[in-house]
Each structure stands twice: as structure tokens, then as C-alpha cells.
Amino acid sequence: MTDKPPIDLYQLDATFGEDGRADLIETFLNHSNVLFSRINAAWDEKDIKTVVDAAHQMKGMGSSIYAAELSRQALHLEKLAKENSPDWQSMLESYDALKEVHKRVTDYLAMQNCN
């Protein structure tokens, strides 16, 4: 792990301004929790389509707030879920990594008083 922040607040501010940043971060925090709930429910049901959809949305949300590692990890989960014969164990490892990255992002945002 590097000391590089998990989100590029400078780029976020340069693109959307401080007001836009606040709105995007609030949306991210609220919606990412919904997506994790959806993935958890899908996991229990082995609903691959929902896993793909939620990972795809998480990838986009990570990109929209300049959280590159989060976006990359969501993409990895999405790709694993799209395989012809998805390996649920590999997906679980990827999902656990996604949750870890998400925690780093949310912890960083809390430290920056962004939420």
C-alpha cells in the first residue's frame, strides 16, 4: 500500500468545484452502501447479474470521484463475474479487496471532513 491518497480531491475540486465535490461525495457514500447491500444479497442468491451490475456501478462511481484504486478493484470484480463460469471464491477475494479499498476511501474522506 502506498501513501498516495485513495481519492484525488484536487482533481475532483478542479472538475466540479467544492459544492459539486460535496454533492458527489454524499451521493457516493449513500449509493455505495446500497451497492454493497445489493452485492451481499446477490451473493446469498448466487445472482451473478446483480453482482456484475453493482460492480459496474461501483466502478463508475469510483471514477466519478477520482478514486482510481476503487474503480480498478470494482472492474476486477466485474470481469470475474462476467466470466463464462464465474469462480465464486475468486470473486469473494476480489469483493473483500473492494470492501477494503472502499473503507480506505471512506476513512480518508472522514479525515478530510468531506462527509
pLDDT in tens, 85-95: 999 999 999 99
Per-residue pLDDT, 115: 61
* Tens-place pLDDT, residues 26-46: 999 999 999 999 999 998 899
> Does the domain at residues 9-111 carry the CATH identifier 1.20.120?
yes
Dump the DSSP string for the chain. --SS-SS-HHHHHHHHHHHHHHHHHHHHHHHHHHHHHHHHHHHHHT-HHHHHHHHHHHHHHHHHTT-HHHHHHHHHHHHHHHSSS--HHHHHHHHHHHHHHHHHHHHHHHHTT--
Residue 55: is its pLDDT beyond 60?
yes
Higher pLDDT, 19 or 79: 79
Global confidence as pTM: 0.92
C-beta of residue 77 within 8 angstroms of C-beta of residue 98: yes
